[in-house]
Structure formats: C-alpha cells, structure tokens
Amino acid sequence: MSAGGGGVVETGVRAGGDPGAVESGFRASEPAARFLRACRRLTVDRTPVWFMRQAGRYMPEYRAIRAKHSLLDICRQAELAAQVTLQPVEALGVDAAILFSDILLPLIPMGAELEMVEGRGPVIHNPLRQAADLGSLRELQPEQDLGFVLQTIQILRRQLPEQVPLIGFAGAPFTLAAYLIEGGASRDFRRTKRLMLQQPAAWRALMEKLARAMGEYLAAQVRAGVQAVQLFDSWVGALGPEDYQACAQPYSRQVLQQVAATGVPAIHFGTGTAGLLPAMRQAGGEVIGVDWRIPLDQAWQTLGPAVGIQGNLDPAALHAPRPELERRVLQILAQAGGRPGHIFNLGHGVLLDTPVEALRSVVEIVHRQQPEPVEAR
C-alpha cells in the first residue's frame, strides 16, 4: 500500500528541519506554486496535477534501479529514495512530488514483523488478534525510528524546483489497524470488525496509539520540510457510516488536527468512500480526495463549498485510446467547473502496467485547459 513505493525502517540521524519549510507552505499568504494555491482554494493559472503512486514500477527508470536494489534497500538509502521520488517529476511534468515511501513503514519500529512478499504484497507475521497482543505495539519516535525518511525529505527540498512542492504522507489509523489485525490484504476485514465490535476497549487503545504515532510522524515530516501531507485511509470504505463515525473518524480527526497545528495543508483520502464523505469532511483536511466511484461534481456537492477536492480519474482509464482518455479527463475538469480548489489526480494509485505516455498525456491535457477565474464559493 505504497504512495510512492515500499518501505522499511532504519535508525537515522535526527532531522534538523528547514526553518522556511512551513512559511513556504500553507501559512504563506499567497503561495506561488499552483498545487499549494489549489490546496488553499486560491485561483490558479492551470489545474495542478499529480498522481498517487507516481513513482514506481511502471517507470523504466525505476525498474533499472530495482534491478540492482530491493524495495527495502531503496527506502533505507535517502539519496536513492530521493532519486526515485524525482523520476516522475522529471518524466511527467507533474505539479507536486510525493515522498517515495510506504504507509506501513512506521509499523516496523512499533513492533510489526513486516515482509514485502513478491506477488502477494505486505505480510505482517505477528498480527494483533486480541487485547493481549496490544502490549507488543510500541510508541513511535519518528526522529529516531524513521530518521532516514526525514533525511530524504531534506534532500528533496534542496533538489526540487521551487514550483514543485513536496507532499509527505501517512496511513490513517483505521487502515493501519486493519493491516495489523488482518496480517495483510483482506476482502471482508472480518477480523478487524470482530475486534472492533467485540473488544471496543482494545480497539480504542489500538486506535489511540496509532493516531498518536501518525500525528507525530506527519509533524516530523513537516519539520523536515514537506509542504503538504496526505492521509491515506485506503481501506476505510469497508466501514458503513455509523461504524466510521464511531470507530474511525475520531482518530483520523486527531491526526489531522495535529497536522493543522503545523500550518501545512492536508489531503484526506480514502477509497470506496462515497457514503462517508460528509463524515470524512468533519474529520478534517483542507482537501478531500475521492475515488472514481462517484462523479467529482456530485462529491463536491456532498462535501460543500468550503473544501478543496482531489481526483478522480479511474486508473484503468490510462489504458484507453488517447481520444477516450482525453474525453474522460476533460469530463472531470468540466465537473470541477472552474472552482478553486481542484487538484487533478487518479481515484487511486497508478497501476503497474500503465504506459508512461498515458500519464504524460493526462498532464498535457490538464495543463492545456485554463480554469475560468471564479470566486471560491
């Protein structure tokens, strides 16, 4: 479940941070970068575009590195992780870079025995199945436990063009809890829901610990220099509205409140969340990311005018012939209606076999259209 790739934890040096990082991000009164302007629902010359999982195996440059280094080795080496982060910026012309890492990375120093299994994905060999297992989950200390991630951020801030902000990210508490309990991917999340419903005290303890950890982790990323963050709740669509509000929303809100205190904008993203959007908006985030299962204009109407929106091309559409791909991109832009606050993205991450040229085409199509200068509603 990576946004830019996979990850592992290695103790690193304490990040000193970039004293100008926050000022150049959300707190600045008029940021120049179109991505940051869109996060604040300011007018932009072009709709900003970036892609979730934009660094990875679909790129020949990345595959060349993977031929020499394992996924975990790339994430252990800050210079290499920075190089992979930069590849799509240079190849595609996107308006933001997202840190090459993995949402499960912080779970390793917390005690998870995580293995990336070829053809299967992440596997946690010591899943949490009952209240007694929670004692093995340690508190996260980001600077000590994830120092190499913070070094990567510092390198990237020096190397990225000024007009291309850096996005940091973390997994939302529910999605991380589901991984810890299921031990890997799941179709029905029955173990997660069983613990949630049968052992509510244990569930609260787990979620509170994960919320603390992710809040601290994102705050550390901001101190190191990221200019925006995204909270990935990739699996939260497994919940109905009542369970989301009771068992997931308070903990996502806790994380997003800690991010809000840093002054940088947050994108709050989940999949299968059409029925959860009002509650996700209540949890927080200057921008709400939506998947392709709901029309963008309908999602924005549901969310209300005082929030930005990110999305929401179906990743499979990148395999369509160019005329059909262009039609779908233009349809989403039309649904945005020129409203300030739209960030063009996919409804989920780039698929493994996606043609690089298709992604370049999307960037070109989006940048070719100039939004009408309308007031934020």
The catalytic position among 53, 223, 253, 339 is 53
The catalytic position among 66, 204, 293, 360 is 66
Residue 57 falls in the annotated catalytic set? yes
Locate tokens 């340690």: which residue? Answer: 138
- Which amino acid makes up residue 342? H
State the Cα–Cα distance between residues 74 and 116, nearest whole angstrom: 13
Return the H-helix or E-strand segment holding 120. Answer: none
Residue (of 359, 371, 304) closest to 334 by Cα position: 371
Beta strands in the chain (DSSP E): 97-98, 114-117, 121-124, 166-171, 228-233, 266-270, 287-289, 308-313, 342-346
The catalytic position among 57, 129, 191, 204 is 57
The catalytic position among 179, 217, 244, 251 is 179
Q: How many other CB atoms are there within 10 angstroms of residue 309's CB atom? A: 25
Strand partners, 49: 344
Residue 58 falls in the annotated catalytic set? no
45 contacts 35 by C-beta, under 8 angstroms? no
Residue 291 falls in the annotated catalytic set? no
State the Cα–Cα distance between residues 328 and 292, nearest whole angstrom: 11
State the Cα–Cα distance between residues 140 and 142, nearest whole angstrom: 6
Q: How many other CB atoms are there within 10 angstroms of residue 118's CB atom? A: 6
Helix (H, G, I), strand (E, B) or coil at 346: strand
Residue 66 falls in the annotated catalytic set? yes
Residue (of 369, 295, 350) closest to 54 by Cα position: 350
State the Cα–Cα distance between residues 68 and 80, nearest whole angstrom: 11
The catalytic position among 18, 95, 102, 291 is 102
Residue 53 falls in the annotated catalytic set? yes
Residues labelled as active-site residues: 53, 57, 66, 102, 179
